[in-house]
Structure 1
């Protein structure tokens, strides 16, 4: 029998994403929404629990617009906190659990968080951050683990709420989530994503090719504090009534086992994760026959990964987006081989332009800054009106990414504007070089940066993580690029490393690489000449 909250779901007006689980519970309440370890949570249970949590938070004074921060690994509790906040009209603030205490404290203070919910094993990090300057959190909630004075236990708090109590609700234009950019060059900025932004991201995904349905299932293992982990299939699947298998951290073998056990039909992983799966020695012993669509983003996908799944008849889709825009472009399975190296074409409800320094359109085939418009583009930076105005000058969001467009509308990302290498007066775009190198079968990952050179001013340096034994030689890789790009674009040095340095969201720290290798100019300046 339907509870009153679920039964009323089909009569409500749009109340933002908080209404998604209520409506799914009405239409198919007994379907599994989430798998978290041994727990299998139906849509009815998810609606009931998020209603309880929303009411419990309301009883403790949380109101529409208040910030509810989450310092959590992937879990059902993460999504329950998100949807409970949405039902209240509060703003969800996911925080990267890989940050240091002062960094977490800054995000709590900057967002003005009223509530912090954290995973029990992260208590040392959470408590250290809560002691930071400017932090005003008044409600502290722990998911599992030992409690300290003034802290509430998540399940006990949730159980105290009444799921049928009317809640604050939200409109599509209200801010739903405050997601902080990774801050590779300075303090992170809070991107204000509205309920409509998240809805239109889902619509863009469903409008491309295969789309998704209630029969789809996926493993959510990319961290949900990142827009890729949350937006690529986690929220879309909850929108259409599918199933997410939530895993707290990425382990290649455990991820493969979950994909096989749960008969996963579609899967999003960043390229490094796909490579790690394929590196599992008995990879072929895992039954992935149910997999129909593989998805990736955040970095160029190695060609061996792409070819492996395509050769098995699995559709493969690449995506490009930012925290501020959700998804921007999609490289659909029909073109993923022929247009490999591009980032595809804009999503169905996304408009893009390439502009020069005066915000004028550049000629077809020329490099320009990618600017974006559409209903999935964020509402601005939290508390930073000047930065918001600068980012949206001319009414388009300026990504800072440089790209070129071909005569079929496919975009090729050439680099971040700040990462361009000027070698002998010529512009070299590191991403262009990386997209060539990552297609070499013995290259697992690569980052290209500019380092000082006595003759050319700057020269490209390739930092490579080998993907085969024996590893390739520097000369072999340089020759490989020279066959495919103009010589001035080719690396003059190659350094081999076991892994690339990354920030807390997984982005390669090119500033670290420039610092690490840029001081050895005299030793390497007379190396391979271009």
Structure 2
């Protein structure tokens, strides 16, 4: 068994070396490494009591909280596969992920009880066990996570050679990313990948045992779980976890807990800059501030620096985590750059034939090494398409200068980023076309002052339709996460198309004012 790559082993070692060191600060809870080790052990015992075995999936629908970390560590210890679900998703989207990943157990917070009750959970195969966090009401149908795990406190899980990761390549997490075909894809991430992501983040953030990292990005995303939480636990640092982003609370806790490291998406930093200077706190403890998740303007970098947030940049994706990085000085001195390759990976640019391009020529970013995902869960076709000659294709187009710095040019994938969340138009279009009044739909990303980009839906309606924007949005709200909802809707009389019938979206976007038909 290769213990050193296992996240649960890190907690066990810090429990042995520095048991009283604070691991997690969450609201009014101060959790030491000893307590986190005991809680993850108790959760492991509970999972075993439910019959969870190596390779079984455990899906969680939780806001940022210590229980999320406990379940993540417990699955790591047992060799079960952890499946975090985006808590912003609508019930039909959650239903699809459960049917696709086929977990044995679904753990959710009481906030999402209505979501669970709207699922046809009796039809899932294998039969789905369910547990709720934060609800003390007993139920014959749903386990109580808080009460049930408490009965195993002080106990250690029964580990045999068949349990736990015997091989670093064994699946650790299935993290879903929206699919270009309209359905999410489950990136299978190994223990090896998690470990090398931690090594990269350790270098990038200059992490140490003394650090306090503020985590306000969702833990269900790579940024929160693999760039912040896991590396900090690996180093024995302290996580200050916020259940959701609140700019005033962020300023307050940076000063209160002497936060040294911080990561956010552009939307987060724009929100922080919008706070009245009289309501901000002391930022002098911050040593490293980082930004990623979507395109960053030079103006935002300069404004953040002037307001106490000197930003270094990262670029990555769920399938790889961090790929490229740039220091504060590089980000300012080389406007538009997303940096150079991380230490533990090979990154280059290739043309359509897979040949490396020369400096300053545009090519697709490809990566290989220990940070690559294993595959897409239950999707050999998409898996084959993303790998080429041992390299993983990112779908992002860029150029590289003579000094090895990368500059994004375009996305090869049809995608836009809203508030740090990837949105694939094909997924939104599929839902729009389900409405009986919609004949065809095309969605593009438009500029949005706060969110960076938002969805703009162009629609062809069936004859004699009386569909309104409000009616359509209400229809979509029942089927899509809120960040995927189109913020703009244009009713059209026709779509510009290629000779093969494909919608020419760039023409729709550029001429939307002249295409309006309603």
Superposition TM-score, scaled by structure 2 size: 0.79
Which structure 2 residues correspond to residues 1-80 of structure 1 after superposition, within 5 A? 13-14=3-4, 16-80=6-70
Range that drifts further, 361-370 or 191-200: 361-370
Counterpart of 1:415?
410
Query: Quick check: 1:34–1:243 contact (8 Å CA) kept in 2?
Result: yes
Q: d(CA) in 2 for partners of 1:373 and 1:259?
A: 36
Counterpart of 1:486?
none
Residues 68-91 of structure 1: CA distance to partner in whole angstroms, max 9, x if unpaired?
A: 110000000001110011111100
Higher relative contact order (CA 8 A, sep 6+): 2
Distance apart, 1:518 and its partner CA: 2.8
Q: 1:334 to 1:130 in 2, by over 3 A?
A: farther
Q: d(CA) in 1 for partners of 2:449 and 2:224?
A: 26
Query: Quick check: 1:71–1:126 contact (8 Å CA) kept in 2?
Result: no
Residues 237-257 of structure 1: CA distance to partner in whole angstroms, max 9, x if unpaired?
A: 111011111111112112222
Distance apart, 1:116 and its partner CA: 0.7
Counterpart of 1:489?
none
Counterpart of 1:84?
74
Counterpart of 2:150?
159
Query: Quick check: 1:108–1:137 contact (8 Å CA) kept in 2?
Result: no
Which of 219, 223, 245 is the aligned partner of 1:228? 223
Q: 1:512 to 1:266 in 2, by over 3 A?
A: farther
Counterpart of 1:387?
382
Q: d(CA) in 2 for partners of 1:397 and 1:352?
A: 10
Q: 1:148 to 1:520 in 2, by over 3 A?
A: farther
Query: Quick check: 1:105–1:133 contact (8 Å CA) kept in 2?
Result: no
Q: d(CA) in 2 for partners of 1:123 and 1:357?
A: 47
Counterpart of 1:259?
254
Query: Quick check: 1:175–1:194 contact (8 Å CA) kept in 2?
Result: yes
Which of 300, 317, 324 is the aligned partner of 1:322? 317
Query: Quick check: 1:105–1:135 contact (8 Å CA) kept in 2?
Result: no
Counterpart of 2:337?
342
Range that drifts further, 516-525 or 331-340: 516-525
Counterpart of 1:368?
363
Counterpart of 1:470?
none
- SS for the counterpart of 1:337 is helix
Residues 6-60 of structure 1: CA distance to partner in whole angstroms, max 9, x if unpaired?
A: xxxxx99436112111111111111111111101000000001100110111122
Query: Quick check: 2:5–2:192 contact (8 Å CA) kept in 1?
Result: no
Counterpart of 1:494?
none
Counterpart of 1:176?
172
- Structure 1 regions of 5+ residues with no counterpart? 1-10, 421-429, 435-446, 450-460, 468-500, 526-530
Q: d(CA) in 2 for partners of 1:387 and 1:245?
A: 37
Residues 208-259 of structure 1: CA distance to partner in whole angstroms, max 9, x if unpaired?
A: 3x51111111221111111112122211111101111111111211222222
Q: d(CA) in 2 for partners of 1:465 and 1:264?
A: 30
- Structure 2 regions of 5+ residues with no counterpart? 426-443, 451-476, 491-503
Which of 209, 216, 221 is the aligned partner of 1:214? 209
Q: d(CA) in 1 for partners of 2:352 and 2:487?
A: 24
Which of 121, 125, 129 is the aligned partner of 2:115? 125
Distance apart, 1:304 and its partner CA: 4.2
Q: d(CA) in 2 for partners of 1:333 and 1:237?
A: 21
Query: Quick check: 1:223–1:229 contact (8 Å CA) kept in 2?
Result: yes
Q: 1:50 to 1:130 in 2, by over 3 A?
A: farther
Counterpart of 2:195?
199
Query: Quick check: 2:75–2:81 contact (8 Å CA) kept in 1?
Result: yes
Query: Quick check: 1:109–1:136 contact (8 Å CA) kept in 2?
Result: no
Query: Quick check: 1:372–1:399 contact (8 Å CA) kept in 2?
Result: yes
Range that drifts further, 137-146 or 236-245: 137-146
Counterpart of 2:243?
248
- SS for the counterpart of 2:337 is coil
Q: d(CA) in 1 for partners of 2:87 and 2:220?
A: 8
Range that drifts further, 195-204 or 333-342: 333-342
1:94 aligns with 2:84: yes
- SS for the counterpart of 2:250 is helix
How many residue pairs end up in the alignment?
Answer: 451
Range that drifts further, 165-174 or 510-519: 510-519
Q: d(CA) in 2 for partners of 1:371 and 1:516?
A: 26
Q: d(CA) in 2 for partners of 1:511 and 1:197?
A: 39
Q: d(CA) in 2 for partners of 1:248 and 1:312?
A: 25
Counterpart of 1:452?
none
Query: Quick check: 1:354–1:369 contact (8 Å CA) kept in 2?
Result: yes
- SS for the counterpart of 1:14 is helix
Superposition TM-score, scaled by structure 1 size: 0.78
Query: Quick check: 1:193–1:378 contact (8 Å CA) kept in 2?
Result: yes
Distance apart, 1:464 and its partner CA: 3.8
